[in-house]
Every structure is written in C-alpha cells, then in structure tokens.
Structure 1
Amino acid sequence: MKYFRVDLITATPNPQRCIYVGMHQDYSESFVGENRINWPDEKKAGEICVKRLLAGERGHYGPMEHVQIVFNIGWFPHSVMQQARTHRIGVSFDVQSMRYTGNRINQVAKGLLDIEEVFYLRPIGHYVDRKGRRYNYTQTQRNIDLQYCEQAAKRYYDLIEDGFAEEHARGILPFDYRQHFIVSFTLRGLLHFLDLRSKRDAQLEIRELCRLIWPHLENWAPEFAAWYQQKRLYKARLAP
C-alpha cells in the first residue's frame, strides 16, 4: 500500500549458527565456545536447528531468543501500532509520540504535504466486517473522509497557533494518522508475531506489515523461514 515501508536497521549476524550454539550447549559436556572450528556453517546450522528444535512440533523455541532483528517501520496507521503491541510477543518499540512530532500535521494544514502521506484511509473496494457483513467503500465516501482529515489538520494547526499543547491538540485528529516506529524482535517473537498477524482474517494493514517483513526474515534466517512457511504461515497457530 502507498507509503508503507519496512527497512532493516540491524540483525544478529549468522543467527542460525547462534541458535545452534545455544541449543548445542544444552546437551554438550564441553564448553562449546572453544570448538568454533567444529560449528556447522550457517545453512547447515539452520537445518540442524529446524530438525532438533521445530520439526515434529517439538516447540523448543528457547534458543531462538538469542538472536534479534530490528526494523524501522514507516507510514503505518496508528491502529497497526495498537494491534502490534497487543499480546505478549517479546518485542520492544519506540514510536512517534505525537507530542513532539506533530509538525507534519501543520504541513498538511498549510498544503505542504499530501493528506494521505499523513493520514491513512483504506482503499476503495468491498469489505467484510468481523460478523461477515459485506459493505462497499466508494470513492465518494473516501473523498468525504479526505476532506475531514484536512479539516482536522487545520483545526490542529489553529490550536497549536493559539498556544495549545501538542498532547491537547492531537485529541481532535482522526484515529489513523500515520506513525513511524522502531521495533526489535527475537526470532521467537517474530514468528509469534507472524502467527498472530499474518493469518487470513487479520486486519488488512497489519497483514501488509507482515508481508513487508517477510523478505527480511527469509534473508536473515532462511532455513527457519522455509520451515515456518511450510508449517505455520497463515495457519494462526500460536507459538509456544
């Protein structure tokens, strides 16, 4: 969807080897750090970990907490942040507060930024609510909503100009203003997040977030990603 973005900030190098070492120390008599020459390469380590930790639904996810990946996520609506932070998923967030970051609202009010770069509205089309009721979101309705967003931005600007605090003025904004945030996942946390939010009946926008995260997971931990895609993706089976 327009403007949505996921950039990789950093990630544990050789994550599958790291997980392998954690797993291996569990049952190794020796101090495994002294035998690095005998560690398998990244691909082989991933294959071993999948076989010993995950295959057969063993659910031994603990060693997957040793590795971490960090994303900068941009232009997603506030509702996605609310969903993303729900449930215990083992992540850390830093999010635009709208107490210090409201200048983009003023820029919309002045006509310097496109309304849809700052406020999110769903695409026109057919939708189904949680109870299975179908409805159509038309271009005419969407144009009305765009006008409302613009009016809210102008009211926000007026309040700021009148000396109101940002945390006061933000209260009149449409719920789904866009936000940027940093999020860090352990591999275990990331797979659990995908269990929760990539399923077919998850909300549209957070499924798009999962879709944009997925290539980064494939590049970072390919053997884990391949197993997950085959066994768990879209199946809404919650991680242990």
Structure 2
Amino acid sequence: MEKFRVELIVKTPNPQQVIYAAMHQDYSEGFVYDEKDKWPSEEKCGEIIVKRLLSGDRGHYGCLEHVGIVLNCGLFPHSVMQQIRTHRVGISMDVQSGRYSGRRIVEAAKGLKDIEEVFYLRPVDYYTDRQGKTYLYSPEQRKQDLDWCLEAAKYYQKLIDQGYSEEHARGIIPFDIRQNFIISLNARSFMHILDLRSKPNAQLECQEFCQLIWPHFREWVPAIAAWYKKNRLGKGRLAP
C-alpha cells in the first residue's frame, strides 16, 4: 500500500461560499449574485453551513453538490476502483483501460519493471475473513503469489506477441492489476464515499484510499470536514 498515491488536479476555489450561495438562494427573495460583495468570508460561510445545513442531522445535502474537486489516484488495485464506484456514490471516473494500455505488463514480464508495480498483493500479516476467522498471509505464500503474477505477465506477453489484442489478452491476468484513475466528486459524494469505505469493516485497501483522500477534503472544505470528522467519519452511518 506504500505505492498508493492521490494528487489534486483542480477544485472549486471558494467552495464554502458557493455552498452558502446555494443555501441562501433557497430562501432569498433576491438574486443572490447581486449581493456577492456582501457574502460572508469563506471561513464564516463554513460556520453557517454547519449550523444551518448539517447540525442536527437536517439532511439538506443538495447545496453541497454545487462544488467539485478532481483527484488523480495512482497504483490502486482494480478491486478498489470497483468498490468505490458502487452504491450510487455520484462520482465520475476515468480509469486506465486494459483495452489499450498493457505495456507495463509486458515490461514486467521482461524484467524491465518490478512485478509489484503492476500487480498488487497484500503485505505479509494476519487477516480476518468475513466470518471472523483469522489467518496468516505468510512470506512463503506471498512469494508463490508473486511468482504466479509473473507467470501470468509472461503469458500475457506471449499472447500479445502472437497478435492478440490487449482487450483479449487481459482476460488471463490476475484480478488486482494496479490502475490509475481520475475521480471527480462534489462535497456530498465525497462524504458518501468516506461513509461507505472508511468504516472499520470496509476493504482494507479502500480504507487506505479514504485516508489518502481525506487530507484533500479537510483542506478544501475545513468547516464541513471538521463537522464530518466529529459526527460521521468511520462510524459507518448511512451515506448522505
């Protein structure tokens, strides 16, 4: 998991003011843009949002959907990408495709790239299955799994050399190939993903994903993030 990374591409620069404007327009007689020079500061808007929208579980999350952030996420296993896009989270994703991009697999087969830069395996440790049974993922077993990944990469290379298309050859590779992707979220869908995937029984790698995206959320909408951390983070509540 030490290879996982998340980098900011772009974000709404004054998100709490924008959310405030949306909220203010809901009950304002006037055209709120005309009052723009009178809007509270970004920090003050955050306080108002927490007080009027979030406190007391009012559930009025629509205003949070007017701001966006785009993150580039790297070297996560396929299972993470698959998990975080489920349950109607309200995000957009563009994922590195196995239909067009397979050179890294061939490079691993040739020894030009570390096999663990292409495929993900969990670290050696004790783990628990869904029924609560604990087991050891031993160094010996992990070595066998790495060898199997390498053999799969070599077979993939053989198919490519025989003229197979990437989308055909990818059918034989291990499930958890590492993938890079770009994800776009609004403030509500950001909390939705954190609700679903930061809780203690979520997939381990998804929890790590949440830990890496959390600092971006905290820096972007600090008042909302502070409220969220106190009231929802890691508690597995129903997503907003």
TM range (shorter): over 0.9
Q: Does 1:3 align with 2:12?
A: no
- SS of 1:48's partner is helix
User: What is the deviation of 1:14?
Assistant: 0.6
Q: Does 1:27 align with 2:48?
A: no
Q: Does 1:130 align with 2:130?
A: yes
Q: Which amino acid aligns with 1:163?
A: G
What is the alpha-carbon distance in structure 1 between the residues aligned to residue 100 and residue 202 of structure 2?
31
Specify the alignment match of 2:149 in structure 1: 149
Pairing 1:64-83 to 2, within 5 Å after superposition: 64-83=64-83
Pairing 1:193-212 to 2, within 5 Å after superposition: 193-212=193-212
Q: Does 1:237 align with 2:234?
A: no
- SS of 1:225's partner is helix
- SS of 1:181's partner is strand
User: What is the deviation of 1:147?
Assistant: 0.3
What is the alpha-carbon distance in structure 2 between the residues aligned to residue 158 and residue 21 of structure 1?
58
Pairing 1:1-240 to 2, within 5 Å after superposition: 1-240=1-240
Q: What residue ranges of structure 1 are gaps of 5+ in the alignment?
A: none
Cα deviation code 1:25-48 (max 9, x no counterpart): 000111110111210100100010
Q: Which amino acid aligns with 2:5?
A: R
- SS of 2:101's partner is coil
Q: What residue ranges of structure 2 are gaps of 5+ in the alignment?
A: none
Q: CA RMSD in A?
A: 0.6
Identity of aligned residues (%): 62
| TM-score of the pair, normalised by structure 2 | 0.99
Count of equivalent residues: 240
User: What is the deviation of 1:18?
Assistant: 0.2
| TM-score of the pair, normalised by structure 1 | 0.99
